[in-house]
């Protein structure tokens, strides 16, 4: 059973990654600063699989609002370059944003594993995600 402080920490984690585009932006900004248009292009280039599911393309307004929220949450730093024309703004991850990616990696691996398991053949109309492997549990072998 989770202690109240652990539940609160999980709620805060969920709040930080809330929003359809936050994980994509975190990945796109990892390791380097980017201008707004570069960031938009990079996030959209990550969307090959997302487009096939109908989730669409990241547009300027959504990116702008999401970056503002991420900046407010301490995940992203916005740096305006003063004295250049045209005006230029770069975005980069804060240490908290970099840490969040590290925390998300095992969660993403776990989700990918569950997704792959749910895509496996089933013995009923329910996905077979049993451990030990499904064929051992049900006494059959794949291809039989």
Q: How many CB atoms lie within 10 A of CB 12?
A: 10
What would the two tokens of residue 43 be? 């996030």
Quick check: 125 pLDDT over 60? no
CA-based end-to-end distance of the chain:
42
* Residue of 87 and 91 predicted with greater confidence: 91
CATH numbers and ranges of domains, the chain: 4-138 (1.10.10.10)
Render 72-83 in DSSP notation, one character per residue. HTTSEEEEEETT
**pLDDT tens, 76-86?**
999 998 888 88
DSSP state of 138: H
């Amino acid at each position: 059973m989770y202690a109240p402080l652990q539940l609160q920490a999980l709620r805060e984690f969920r709040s930080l990654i809330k929003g359809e585009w936050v994980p994509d932006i975190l990945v796109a900004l990892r390791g380097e600063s980017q201008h707004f248009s570069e960031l938009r292009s990079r996030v959209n280039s990550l969307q090959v699989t997302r487009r096939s599911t109908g989730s669409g393309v990241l547009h300027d307004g959504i990116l702008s609002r999401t970056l503002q929220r991420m900046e407010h949450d301490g995940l992203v730093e916005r740096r305006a370059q003063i004295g250049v024309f045209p005006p230029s703004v770069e975005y980069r991850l804060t240490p908290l944003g970099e840490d969040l990616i590290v925390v998300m990696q095992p969660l993403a691996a776990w989700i990918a594993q569950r997704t792959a398991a749910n895509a496996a053949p089933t013995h009923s109309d329910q996905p077979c995600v049993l451990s030990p492997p499904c064929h051992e549990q049900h006494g059959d072998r794949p291809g039989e």
